[in-house]
């Protein structure tokens, strides 16, 4: 129980840090972002329109930093992230909610797939260590893991979408995909998702492979493994109940830790494929100096990673009896 409370505490605390960073960062800029933001419109908007905008954003009455801060936190709690500047007057939260399902679908499914495939290969590579095939995958995995996500995405886009025209060049759906959830709609969704999925899968699988390999190797030198072998257990049983079961635990923890990195990579992937998820809009908001949208997107990306981490912690609680007893 204390484990769970602790993890919840860190969850809330980290979320608070993310929110606070969001608050502080714009204020560190020489010349406040408000004027930077409005400078963009200066040529095009007459002063009365600027004032109207300021009022609309709540930027006219700044108050002391402390009261600003609490006002900001209060707005967050109410789910009020203000209005987007580049997509004015759409509320930021609407943009986020539109983009969220795409990112969750893309990143969620690929991350789980990549974890399973990578861990499977890592198990093989660690258990059969010393054999050419098992050791040979290591440099390959390191190379794949060192490729910039967006670069690999660009190559896929160039070859399979631009040259071969097997897949669409951008977006998540055809302009007229048919009725939502119909067969043609699903088909369109899948065709658009294939290359982004492949990009994330190929570039992230190596990391899980190396992690699992190292875990398997360290489990292989544990006394309980020697004992299991001494008992004359079959290889299948040993791998299943003694190696995999134990090596997966630290892998799960690493899974949670590395999610942030994968999400970062998926942002770049979304940008390359103009895939309308959180990352794509984050890019748009950065290019358009749309600060409210940028902050909300960062907040939600952090939230998604934190929730996933919490889920991993819960899973660990189920899988590891030592944690259940509060001893790990």
Partner 1 sequence: MTAVIPGAIPIPRRAWKNTSLGRFFRNPRSVFGAGLLLIFVLMGLFAPVLTPYSPSSLEFDAFMPFSAAHPLGTTALGQDILAQFLYGARLTLLVGAVAGLLATFLSVAFGLAAAYFGGWVDEAINTLINVFLVLPGLPLIIVAAAFIRGGGVWPVIVVIGFTGWAFGARVLRSQALALRERDFIAAAAVSGEGPLRIIFVEMLPNMAGLIAANFFGAALYAVLSEAGLSFIGVGDVSLVTWGTMLYWAQAKGALLQGAWWWVALPGLSIALLGTSFALLNFAVDEISNPKLGGGRLKMPRRTQAAPIAAPVAGDALLSIKELSVGYLTPTGVVRAVREVSLDVQPGELLGLAGESGCGKSTLAFAATRLLDPPGAVLGGSVRLAQHDLLALSPEELRKVRWKEFSIVFQASMSVLNPVLKIREQVYDAMQAHGVTDKAKLDARARELFDLVGIQMQYLDAYPHQLSGGMKQRVVIAIALALEPKLIVMDEPTTALDVVVQRQILQEINAVRKRLGISIIFITHDLSLLVEMSDRVAIMYAGEVVELAPAHQLYAHPAHPYTQQLMNSFPPMTGPRTRRSGIPGKPPSLSAEIVGCPFFERCTKRMPGVCDVKPLQTFTVAENQTAACFLYDPTVPSEIKDSAIRSSQTPQPEVSREPAHTIN
- Which residue of 33, 91, 120, 250 would you call a contact of partner 1, by CB under 8 A? 33
- Which residue of 102, 124, 127, 152 would you call a contact of partner 1, by CB under 8 A? 152
Sign of CA pseudo-dihedral 19, 20, 26, 31: positive
Which 235-254 positions form the footprint of partner 1 (CB under 8 A)? 237, 241-242, 245-246, 249
Pair 309, 259: CB distance under 8 Å: yes
**Per-residue binder mask for partner 1 (CB under 8 A), 96-135, x = binder:** ---------------------------------xx----x
Closest CB to partner 1 among residues 99, 271 = 271
Q: Per this entry, what is the length of the chain?
A: 328
Which 59-78 positions form the footprint of partner 1 (CB under 8 A)? none
Binding-residue total with partner 1 (CB under 8 A): 87
> What is the smallest separation between the CB atom of 195 and partner 1, expressed in angstroms?
14
d(CA 126, CA 120): 10
> What is the smallest separation between the CB atom of 254 and partner 1, expressed in angstroms?
10
- Which residue of 202, 268, 277, 292 would you call a contact of partner 1, by CB under 8 A? 268
| 2 is an interface residue for partner 1 by CB under 8 A | no
| 256 is an interface residue for partner 1 by CB under 8 A | yes
DSSP code of residue 91: B
| 221 is an interface residue for partner 1 by CB under 8 A | yes
Closest CB to partner 1 among residues 188, 284 = 284
> What is the smallest separation between the CB atom of 146 and partner 1, expressed in angstroms?
3
| 210 is an interface residue for partner 1 by CB under 8 A | yes
Cis upstream peptide for 89 (omega within 30°)? yes
Sign of CA pseudo-dihedral 13, 15, 18, 23: negative
| 156 is an interface residue for partner 1 by CB under 8 A | no
> What is the smallest separation between the CB atom of 232 and partner 1, expressed in angstroms?
3
Q: Token pair of 297, please? A: 């997107």
- Which residue of 43, 47, 175, 232 would you call a contact of partner 1, by CB under 8 A? 232
Report helix, strand or coil for 83. strand
| 302 is an interface residue for partner 1 by CB under 8 A | yes
CB-neighbour burial class of residue 120 (10 A; exposed 0-12, middle 13-18, buried 19+): middle
Closest CB to partner 1 among residues 48, 234 = 234
- Which residue of 10, 59, 198, 317 would you call a contact of partner 1, by CB under 8 A? 10
> What is the smallest separation between the CB atom of 95 and partner 1, expressed in angstroms?
15
Give the start-end residues of each E strand in the chain.
none
d(CA 167, CA 276): 17
Cα–Cα separations (whole angstroms), residue 265 to 65, 200, 225, 273: 34, 7, 37, 13
The DSSP annotation for 124-145 comes to HHHHTTTSHHHHHHHHHHHHHH
């Amino acid at each position: 129980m204390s484990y769970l409370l602790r993890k919840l505490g860190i969850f809330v605390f980290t979320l608070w840090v993310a929110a606070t960073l969001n608050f502080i960062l714009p204020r560190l800029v020489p010349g406040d972002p408000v004027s930077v933001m409005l400078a963009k419109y200066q040529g095009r908007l007459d002063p009365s329109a600027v004032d109207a905008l300021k009022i609309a954003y709540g930027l006219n009455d700044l108050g002391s930093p402390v009261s600003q801060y609490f006002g900001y936190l209060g707005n967050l709690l109410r789910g009020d992230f203000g209005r987007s500047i580049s997509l004015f007057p759409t509320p930021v939260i609407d943009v986020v909610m539109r983009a969220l399902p795409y990112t969750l679908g893309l990143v969620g499914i690929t991350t789980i797939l990549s974890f399973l495939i990578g861990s499977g290969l890592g198990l093989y590579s660690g258990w059969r260590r010393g054999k050419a095939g098992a050791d040979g995958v290591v440099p390959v995995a390191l190379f794949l893991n060192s490729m910039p996500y967006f670069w690999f995405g660009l190559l896929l886009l160039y070859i399979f979408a631009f040259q071969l025209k097997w897949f669409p060049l951008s977006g998540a759906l055809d302009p007229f995909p048919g009725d939502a959830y119909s067969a043609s709609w699903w088909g369109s969704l899948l065709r658009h998702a294939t290359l982004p999925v492949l990009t994330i899968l190929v570039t992230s699988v190596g990391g899980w492979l190396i992690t699992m390999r190292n875990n398997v190797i360290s489990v292989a030198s544990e006394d309980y493994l020697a004992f299991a072998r001494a008992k004359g257990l079959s290889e299948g049983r040993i791998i299943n109940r003694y190696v995999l079961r134990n090596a997966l635990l630290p892998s799960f923890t690493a899974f949670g830790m590395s999610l942030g990195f994968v999400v970062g990579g998926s942002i770049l992937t979304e940008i390359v494929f103009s895939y309308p998820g959180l990352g794509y809009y984050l890019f748009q908001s950065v290019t358009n100096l749309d600060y409210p949208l940028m902050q909300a997107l960062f907040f939600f990306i952090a939230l998604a990673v934190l929730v996933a981490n919490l889920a991993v912690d819960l899973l660990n609680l189920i899988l590891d009896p030592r944690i259940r007893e509060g001893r790990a």
